[in-house]
Amino acid sequence: MIYLFDGSTYGFLTAFLAAFHDENALLVSKTTQLYIGETPITVRTDETRAQKAAARLTKLDKKALHDLDILLRCQESDNEQVAFLYLRFLAKTGGPVRNRFAQPCVFQAVTYMKKVALEIHRFHGFIRFMETESGALYAPFSPDNDICDLLVPHFRSRFPKFPFVLHDVGRKKAAVYDGANVFIAPLDQASVVISGDELTLQTLWKEYYRAVNIPARERLQQMRGYMPVRYWKYLTEKL
């Protein structure tokens, strides 16, 4: 049976409880192809039940909700089902299972969590901030996974006194740090006026990049390995 939920964490946990004993359960919040004559069950979010489920999972494994959060951020089409199977196995086992790689559901879940963690690590180095006329820093990017707010602690520690905006262009949302507080806001498009100093620095950075490049010794395959092409769009040196 297919269990549809609203995409939220509480929605997932409510559906998790509803589908727990169904060995053929499929949890999705996205549009999915149905077989002829198949009617999905739409699960209405129940925060009270979801909180109880969260408390139970946390008692079994203090990192369970963290794992769930990471899995729900993953861009893989079956991430919600993988999260369901992983947490159900955890609940039936009665304790942490993330090291039991012989279990397909655990192996898949850990693989997806590593993908998200790797992208977070990459964007610590791939994000390119631009200084605006107001003095705030702005960085557009298009991550595969929903990691916008997870990048904030790293850059907040690096620029504690500078307001900045991390704009996830694809998801039309932004993580905003105003110098004291952090909040997430919808952001379709941003009209940004960069400062004169920023223009100068961008020009110098591009000239440096061209100067150190040796056309006769280009190793494009190696470059793509260290810096995947899908991340080049917002890199100043590649503009």
Alpha carbon of residue 170 to chain centroid: 12
Among 152-161, 196-205, 214-223, name the one with the lowest average pLDDT: 214-223
* Encoded tokens for 174: 């932004």
Query: Which pLDDT score is estimated for 57?
Result: 97
Q: Evaluate if residue 14 carries a pLDDT over 90.
A: yes
Query: Which pLDDT score is estimated for 33?
Result: 62
* Distances in whole angstroms, Cα of residue 234 to Cα of each of 7, 132, 169, 207: 29, 16, 11, 17
Rounded Cα distance, 41 and 27, in Å: 10
Among 39-43, 95-99, 208-212, name the one with the lowest average pLDDT: 208-212
Given a contact cutoff of 8 angstroms between Cβ atoms, the answer to whether 141 and 167 are in contact is yes
pLDDT digits (tens, 9 = 90+) for 19-75: 999 999 999 997 666 556 677 889 999 999 999 999 999 999 999 999 999 999 999
Residue whose tokens read 């905003």: 176
Query: Which pLDDT score is estimated for 109?
Result: 98
Query: Which pLDDT score is estimated for 39?
Result: 79
Query: Which pLDDT score is estimated for 133?
Result: 92
Average pLDDT, the chain: 91
Residue whose tokens read 């790293």: 154
* SS3 call for 180: coil
Rounded Cα distance, 183 and 48, in Å: 26
Query: Which pLDDT score is estimated for 32?
Result: 61
Query: Which pLDDT score is estimated for 35?
Result: 59
What burial class does residue 188 get, using C-beta atoms within 10 Å of its C-beta: 0-12 exposed, 13-18 middle, 19+ buried? Answer: exposed
Query: Which pLDDT score is estimated for 221?
Result: 78
The structure's pTM equals 0.88
Q: Evaluate if residue 145 carries a pLDDT over 80.
A: yes
The H or E element containing residue 165 is strand 164-168
